[in-house]
Amino acid sequence: MPSPTPDPVAVIGASGALGFGLVVRLARAGVPIMIGSRDATRAEDTAERARAVVPEGSFAAHDNRGAAGAANTVILSVPFRNQADTLTDLGDALSPGQLLIDATVPLAATVGGKATRMLGVWQGSAAQQAFEMVPDGVRVVSALHTVSAASLSDLEHPLEQDVLICGDSRTDKREAASVIERIDGLRCVDCGRLEMARTTEALTALLISVNVRYKIHAGLRLTSLPDSLWA
């Protein structure tokens, strides 16, 4: 029996570096993608770009609200300085029961500072800010901060790395992991409650610092974990 088509995933910020990398990797894994952009033409252009990379992929272009309304799982991949505006704009396009995977990193670079420094966020992390802003009942997990956009976009690049997931519900984290692990080479690790996102988000700054020194796109791999992480 053919394996069932996976549920669609919406990517808000799909035209950006990380968003596009996720779009093409997930599409190659057979996931139908709802491409979200603030601009309809940019959404169409992004879908065209993605089709050129993954001709067998399924891509639908939307504005951000349309994309968010068209999938149960929504990945938020916008710069920190635009996270609040984007979530305000999404508003009731998100509904209770949906899963928001927040990849936002509060890097100082987003307000003109250094990319190796973090901004303080009143709520503790970008993910906690997202949780505060989404409608009640929208489930929020934090993930993907240590996965490089450049590595994702290069489909020939073997990923073989961990994705650190934080959230207050084990079920929600498992659901997010089941989407993310469709991407070959990514292993998801439960890192604890959403408040731990403050630490996992900061690892992006650390990796940027390493990348600059070694001229690479480093990822993370944790050791000594059991074979089955989501049983």
Ligand X SMILES: NC(=O)c1ccc[n+]([C@@H]2O[C@H](COP(=O)([O-])OP(=O)(O)OC[C@H]3O[C@@H](n4cnc5c(N)ncnc54)[C@H](OP(=O)(O)O)[C@@H]3O)[C@@H](O)[C@H]2O)c1
Tell me how far apart the alpha carbons of residues 204 and 107 are, in angstroms, rounded to a whole number: 8
| Size of site (CB under 6 A) for ligand X | 26
If the CB atoms of residues 153 and 169 are measured against ligand X, the closer one turns out to be 153
CB 64 within 8 A of CB 37: yes
Q: Is 209 in the site for ligand X (CB under 6 A)?
A: no
Among 11, 16, 163, 186, binds ligand X (CB under 6 A): 16
Q: Is 29 in the site for ligand X (CB under 6 A)?
A: no
Which residues within the stretch 105-144 sit at the binding site for ligand X (CB under 6 A)?
105, 107, 144
Residue 125 identity (one-letter amino acid): S
Q: Is 53 in the site for ligand X (CB under 6 A)?
A: no
CA-nearest of 35, 22, 48 to 155 is 22
Q: Is 148 in the site for ligand X (CB under 6 A)?
A: yes
Which residues within the stretch 162-201 sit at the binding site for ligand X (CB under 6 A)?
none
Using alpha carbons, list the distances in angstroms from residue 47 to 10, 14, 158, 183, 224.
Answer: 12, 9, 24, 19, 40
Residue 50 identity (one-letter amino acid): A
Q: Which residue has the tokens 């984007």?
A: 86
Contact footprint for ligand X (CB under 6 A)? 13, 15-19, 37-39, 42, 77-80, 82, 86, 103-105, 107, 144-145, 147-149, 204
